[in-house]
Structure 1
Amino acid sequence: MGEIIVTAQRREQSIQRVGIAITALSGEELAKTGVTSAQDIARQVPALEFDSGSGGGVNAFVTIRGVSQVDYSEHQEAPNAVYLDDVYVPTPSMVAFPVYDMARAEALRGPQGTLFGRNSTGGLLHFVTKDPTREWDGYFNTEYGSFETGRMEGAVGGPLADGVAFRLAGFGQIGNGWFKNDNPGSKDSFESYSFGVRGKLAVDLGPDWKATLAASINKSPRHREGTYKAYPAYVDANGVTQFVPANVDIYGTGAGNDPYGYRDPNPDGNEGSFNDGGFLKKQTYYGTLKIEGSIGDATLTSITNYTNAKLDYLEDSDGTPNNVFLFLSGGYTRQISQELRLSGDTGSLNWTAGAYFLDIKGSYYTDFYLVGLFDAINRYKQKTRSWAVFGQVEYEFLPAVKLTVGGRYTHDRKIFDSRVYIGPGDPTFDPAVTAPYWEFNEATFGDAARQSRGDWAGKAQLSYEPSNNILLYAGVSRGIRGGGFNATADGSLDYNDVQFGPETVVAYEAGTKLRLFDGKANVRASAFYYDYSDYQAFNYNGLISTVSNSDAYYTGGEIEIFANPMQGLNISFGVSYLDAKVKDLVTPQGIADVRPVKAPEWSLNGLVTKSFDIGVYQLGLQYDFDYQSESRANLVQSPVTRLPASWMHNARISFGREEQGWELYGFVRNFTDVDRRTFAYDNSWAGLAIASYAPPRTYGVGFRKDF
């Protein structure tokens, strides 16, 4: 099987020689498995979930080995860092970015605190787009499929002059909504409407120096999104939220109905009856300058980035045809980052040292609108300034035996300012002429509205490589994540609960990577144990969503198998197991240890491709699947936040002529049309439970031409 090159240790290496649990997907694999957004990568990565709490494109939550934080607030950073071309992506809405003209994607499991710019306690995803080349090349791809969805993307690049090359890539997608609306006179939701363009310019600055300037804009103009599947719910005598049985009149509004007299008659997850006022509008701009060059025997890398993003979002939070309540959110984020790395290789010793600076400023809003009763608007700001110094050394002190030692010191400073305004539940309420109902900032609470802390992360690992076909590794690492602030929705949050503290994890991991049968098969396996102190756990309770600190443990492992048993046949398979508990959580039944959010015990994924030569043409068949066992969408668990186990199946067929660079293909995704519930919220205070679902069965055809 072909050599897979990754940059998990900030230098190009064979994946076989890196003592980290990594799954890497090439640009071709991403395209052929239908990956068009960052979330889609989860289908082929063990122990990874990557989806939205609303079922659409407003935001994305990354879960790696069950480690996650599903706070939808724009100012919260996740425990699993996401990078695009070496640049950290900070907010939930920005993480839901489109994928096009990709070189590869890498998923790193476990704390990554010693080499990447923003430390992470759970893992890391890195998406790498194609760079300019010294020869002209490019491609064009167009698709048309279900819900009248059309997508076009392409790229072109090559030399402009001696030592100067460029690459220009772009995409556009538009389509009708896949969430069917049975409410008379209303329209379907979750439309497709987005486009983007990215340009790169590479300039040789000398014999050993190169600069690459990249700029991009991705936009989702206003389109219909923002609703849920709604279910009547109530709280039983034990304090547990239950679904209202179809034959029981809980609220005096009819058997099986919610407090407003409604029950959705359709059981399908992708069909409901709701108001169609929900929308999403967002855009992201970024510019990055990367400079690389030699200083003696060392290599210097400088990465400078400026990013800004805007978001406006409205959802029908009750998911019914009645006007019960709405949720609006959005704001503006500006990020500046600078990374400097110096690295060298002296045979038995490889080393990297560097510094990182990050400055994020955000101004946001949320608005819970309970029709006819009240309107709660939170206008809040957060400033984050972080700096870090880091280093890692890899030393072969015995033949085939290497010791890796790394460390990072990070200092974070955050300043928070939140003001909640309460008014009547009608459109005339103007918070600009109203005194705050609830206020938390430096003027009112002094140092409590500011966090300024430093801490260290580290890694020590031994690896043994007796041959090019065997790698064994074992080590321990310490990961950290800074504290933060909760943004209350309605002003009912106690002031003492606004601030939450930093989390720390000590992670023990061992693994192996094997090449078998003359390279026709690869096996990668890993096992881990995480000991969390002050794990940052997100919990949703009515209108109050908070992050709080609790201890936790995680233990589990993954196995990936890749095989090429015969010419033209490739098989990959992955399986992961997880046992995890957040300790001493307060529940309606008392203090208990509970399973984390989005942490299935088992997950599986697989991919089979077979190609046939038919004269000068090629026929390709592809099948892939993934499975997730049951998990939960909230720490306080109940039947309404249960996420049932589910399988997802996809297929693709292609016909083309490789030497001419063209291909016709057809695809079907979720061909068993399973209703996969991706998230759920307990809104029993309003007599409702709401859930989001993955898209139903979709199919289409496409054409690609490489040149």
Structure 2
Amino acid sequence: MGEIIVTAQRREQSIQKVGIAITALSGDELSKLGVATASDIARQVPALEFDSGSGGGLNAFVTIRGVSQVDYSEHQEAPNAVYLDEVYVPTPSMVAFPVYDLARAEALRGPQGTLFGRNSTGGLLQFVTKDPTKDWDGYFNTEYSSFSTGRVEGAVGGPIADGVSFRLAGFGQIGNGWFKNNNPSGKDSFESNSFGIRGKLAFDIGSDWKAIVTGSLNKSPRHREGVYKSYPVYVDANGVTQFVPANVDIYGTGAGNDPFGYRDPSSDGTEGSFNDVGFLKKQTYYGTLKLQGSVGGATLTSISNYTKSDIDYLEDSDGTPNNIFNFGSGGYTRQFSQELRLSGDAGPLNWTVGGYFLDLKGSYYTDFILIGIFDAINTYQQRTRSYAAFGQIEYEILPSVKVTVGGRYTHDRKVFNSQVALGPQDPNYTGTSADQYWNFNAQSAAAWGSSNRQSRGDWTGKFQLSYEPDNNLLLYAGVSRGIRAGGFNATADGTLGLQPDGVTVDYSAVPFGNETVVAYEGGAKLRVFDGKANIRASAFYYDYTGYQAFNYNGLISTVSNNDAYYAGGELEIFANPIEGLNISLGAAYLDAKVKDIVTPGGVVDVRPVKAPKWSLNGLVTKTFDIGIYQLGLQYDFDYQSESKANLIVSPVTTLPSSWMHNARISFGREDQGWELYGFVRNFTDVNRKAFAYDNSWTGLALGSFAPPRTYGVGFRKDF
């Protein structure tokens, strides 16, 4: 089936020889799967979910083996790190980046804190874009699909001088919204409106040094987004939120209605009746310098990056035609990072050492508007400086037996400031000033104490044994320790810790502590039937201390520290039984509990958010030669068993099990590099509920869904 090369250990290796549970997808596979955003890869990676809490391009939450934090706050770093061209991507909105001209994508399951660091207690995704080459090449791809959506993508590259080459890639996409608005004169939401451009220059410096300079801009001009499917709900006598039955008048506003007299007549999760006030606009640009060369027989790699991201967002948070409440958020993030790695090998020994520096700062806001009653604007800033030193060795202690030992020490320093303004819609507004303030910032240092600062160092490490008697079998087992730095809560209305007098604030409620995991894992990678099939299996047990659990309760969304455990495993099978036929199948199982969660029924252990017990995926492709032409058929699917969107169990935050099916047909000439194709995504038009919020304090629950059935045609030309 050919070698799959990955960089999971910061050097190029065959996936067969790396003792990590990895799923890798090539650029060609990603293109044929219709992958247009980073989140699209989840369809073919076991134990991976990658979706948005808003149903659009606002942000992206990565869940690996059920480990997640679906906190939409821009300053919160997730437990599953995402890297783009070896550069850390820090915020939820930046993780929702478009992908184009990719060489490959890799999903690494399990803690990756030794060589990568930065909050990868659950796992890591890395996306690798294509570098310039010394030969001219490129491609052009155009698509037209449902909702009048058009997309154009392409790249070109080659030599421009002796020792100098370039690559220029870009895309653009525009289309109508797929979330239908049944409100008269209303407009549909979740439009497509984005474009990006990336340029790379590669320089040969002497005989054994190379530099790659990258500059990129991804932009989404202002367009309609930000709405949810709305459901009337009530809280029963046991404190559990329930859907309002269609034949019961809970609020005296009519059978099945919410407190404002409305019930959406449609059961379709991708349509409703709402005020089309929502919008999104964001842009991210970055520049990276990568230097690599030989130093005394070893390889030195330097990666310097500067990234800037800006975002503004507003949503109709009630999802109804009534003006009940809206939510806005936004701000900017600036990041500078520098990594130095030195690696080499000597006989049975392979080694890597390095250092890492990150300076991350942002200024953000949330605006919670309860129409006519309450307006709270929380303006907050966070500055993070992180220093790390790391090393890893891989040594062949016996023929076919290797030991891997690695460690990393990281010191994080975070400073957080927050200020809440209560606007004229506040019922306690006295009219004596433009606004009233609770000052959470440095001007009130006495009140803050040490609650707005964290300065901590901790270590991660790895010990693993692997056995490889031949090129067809790899067995591995080991233990690793991962960490995730603590942080600060910034609630939607900014009132966390507010005391009954309405003025005094308990600032100690704002910070939360570090997360630590000790992970035990073993696995096997096997080639059978003369290389026509590969089998990869893994099993794990995670023991968490201070697990950072996210919980959403009306206005108050918080991260707390709780102990937890995760156990499960994955199985992947890849087969090429006959010429032109490729099959891949994946399955994942998970058992997990977060301990001592306060619920209406008492303090109990609960299953984590976005952690289905079972998940399945599959892909089948068949190519037929018809004279000088090729006909291609492709089918892929994925399945998720029931999960939930909140730690407190409730029917309104349950995410039902669902199947998703996609298909593609193509016709072209491989020798001439062109292809015509058609596709249908979600061809059974399933209503997959991706996330949900319990806003029972308003008598409503909200749901976000995957897009409905989508048809399209396209043309690609490689040259």
**How does 1:557-576 map onto structure 2 within 5 Å?**
557-576=569-588
> Structure 1 residues 225 and 432, CA, compared in 2 at 3 Å: closer, same or farther?
farther
* Residue pair 1:280, 1:313 contacting (<8 A) in 2 also: yes
> Structure 1 residues 433 and 203, CA, compared in 2 at 3 Å: closer, same or farther?
farther
C-alpha distance after superposition, 1:181-238 (max 9, x if no partner): 0000000000000000000000001101000000000000000000000000110000
User: Which amino acid in the other structure matches residue 370 of structure 1?
Assistant: L
Q: Does 1:84 align with 2:84?
A: yes
Q: Does 1:30 align with 2:42?
A: no
Q: Which residue of 1 aligns with 2:500?
A: none
Match of 1:487 among 485, 490, 495: 490
* Residue pair 1:540, 1:634 contacting (<8 A) in 2 also: yes
Match of 1:687 among 699, 704, 709: 699
Identical aligned pairs, as a percentage? 80
SS of equivalent residue, structure 1 residue 31? helix
Q: Which residue of 2 aligns with 1:437?
A: 438
User: What is the CA distance between 1:436 and its match in structure 2?
Assistant: 1.5
* Residue pair 1:178, 1:188 contacting (<8 A) in 2 also: yes
Q: Which residue of 1 aligns with 2:204?
A: 204
SS of equivalent residue, structure 1 residue 675? coil
Match of 1:507 among 511, 519, 523: 519
Report the aligned-residue RMSD: 1.3
* Residue pair 1:438, 1:491 contacting (<8 A) in 2 also: no
Q: Which residue of 2 aligns with 1:458?
A: 461
SS of equivalent residue, structure 2 residue 495? coil
- For 1:574 and 1:663, how far apart are their aligned partners in 2? 28
C-alpha distance after superposition, 1:267-319 (max 9, x if no partner): 00111000001000000000000000000110000000000000000000000
Q: Does 1:531 align with 2:543?
A: yes
Q: Which residue of 2 aligns with 1:591?
A: 603
Q: Does 1:546 align with 2:547?
A: no
- For 1:456 and 1:84, how far apart are their aligned partners in 2? 24
C-alpha distance after superposition, 1:561-589 (max 9, x if no partner): 00000000000000000000000111111
User: What is the CA distance between 1:117 and its match in structure 2?
Assistant: 4.7
**How does 1:295-694 map onto structure 2 within 5 Å?**
295-425=295-425, 433-437=434-438, 439-441=440-442, 443=445, 444-494=447-497, 495-694=507-706
* Residue pair 2:119, 2:485 contacting (<8 A) in 1 also: no
* Residue pair 1:477, 1:506 contacting (<8 A) in 2 also: yes
C-alpha distance after superposition, 1:412-453 (max 9, x if no partner): 000000011112339x99999534135254623132110000
- For 2:118 and 2:525, how far apart are their aligned partners in 1? 27
* Residue pair 2:167, 2:200 contacting (<8 A) in 1 also: yes
Aligned residues: 706
- For 1:348 and 1:44, how far apart are their aligned partners in 2? 35
- For 1:429 and 1:92, how far apart are their aligned partners in 2? 37
* Residue pair 1:423, 1:429 contacting (<8 A) in 2 also: no
* Residue pair 1:595, 1:635 contacting (<8 A) in 2 also: yes
* Residue pair 1:279, 1:314 contacting (<8 A) in 2 also: yes
User: What is the TM-score of this pair, normalised by structure 2?
Assistant: 0.97
* Residue pair 2:118, 2:484 contacting (<8 A) in 1 also: no
User: Which amino acid in the other structure matches residue 66 of structure 1?
Assistant: G
User: What is the TM-score of this pair, normalised by structure 1?
Assistant: 0.99
C-alpha distance after superposition, 1:349-407 (max 9, x if no partner): 00000000000010000000000101010000000000100000000010000000000
C-alpha distance after superposition, 1:314-338 (max 9, x if no partner): 0000000000000000000000000
Q: Which residue of 2 aligns with 1:70?
A: 70
C-alpha distance after superposition, 1:503-559 (max 9, x if no partner): 000000000000000000000000000000000000000000000000000000000
Q: Which residue of 2 aligns with 1:193?
A: 193
C-alpha distance after superposition, 1:253-272 (max 9, x if no partner): 00100000000000001110
User: Which amino acid in the other structure matches residue 158 of structure 1?
Assistant: G
* Residue pair 1:19, 1:473 contacting (<8 A) in 2 also: yes
- For 1:431 and 1:410, how far apart are their aligned partners in 2? 49
- For 2:383 and 2:476, how far apart are their aligned partners in 1? 40
SS of equivalent residue, structure 1 residue 437? strand
Q: Which residue of 2 aligns with 1:169?
A: 169
Q: Which residue of 2 aligns with 1:113?
A: 113
User: Which amino acid in the other structure matches residue 437 of structure 1?
Assistant: W
SS of equivalent residue, structure 1 residue 94? helix
C-alpha distance after superposition, 1:2-56 (max 9, x if no partner): 1100000000000000000000000000000000000000000000000000000
- For 2:398 and 2:453, how far apart are their aligned partners in 1? 49
User: What is the CA distance between 1:489 and its match in structure 2?
Assistant: 2.3
* Residue pair 2:583, 2:619 contacting (<8 A) in 1 also: yes
- For 1:491 and 1:566, how far apart are their aligned partners in 2? 60
Q: Which residue of 1 aligns with 2:503?
A: none
Runs of 4+ in 1 over 3 A off after TM superposition: 428-433
> Structure 1 residues 135 and 491, CA, compared in 2 at 3 Å: closer, same or farther?
closer
SS of equivalent residue, structure 1 residue 202? strand
- For 2:560 and 2:306, how far apart are their aligned partners in 1? 31
User: Which amino acid in the other structure matches residue 560 of structure 2?
Assistant: S
User: Which amino acid in the other structure matches residue 455 of structure 1?
Assistant: D
- For 1:241 and 1:159, how far apart are their aligned partners in 2? 63
- For 1:429 and 1:705, how far apart are their aligned partners in 2? 66
User: Which amino acid in the other structure matches residue 553 of structure 1?
Assistant: Y
User: What is the CA distance between 1:590 and its match in structure 2?
Assistant: 0.2
User: What is the CA distance between 1:654 and its match in structure 2?
Assistant: 0.2
Q: Which residue of 1 aligns with 2:134?
A: 134
- For 2:547 and 2:261, how far apart are their aligned partners in 1? 41
User: What is the CA distance between 1:493 and its match in structure 2?
Assistant: 1.2
User: Which amino acid in the other structure matches residue 562 of structure 1?
Assistant: F
> Structure 1 residues 491 and 94, CA, compared in 2 at 3 Å: closer, same or farther?
closer
* Residue pair 1:112, 1:121 contacting (<8 A) in 2 also: yes
Q: Which residue of 1 aligns with 2:57?
A: 57
User: What is the CA distance between 1:497 and its match in structure 2?
Assistant: 1.8
SS of equivalent residue, structure 2 residue 448? helix
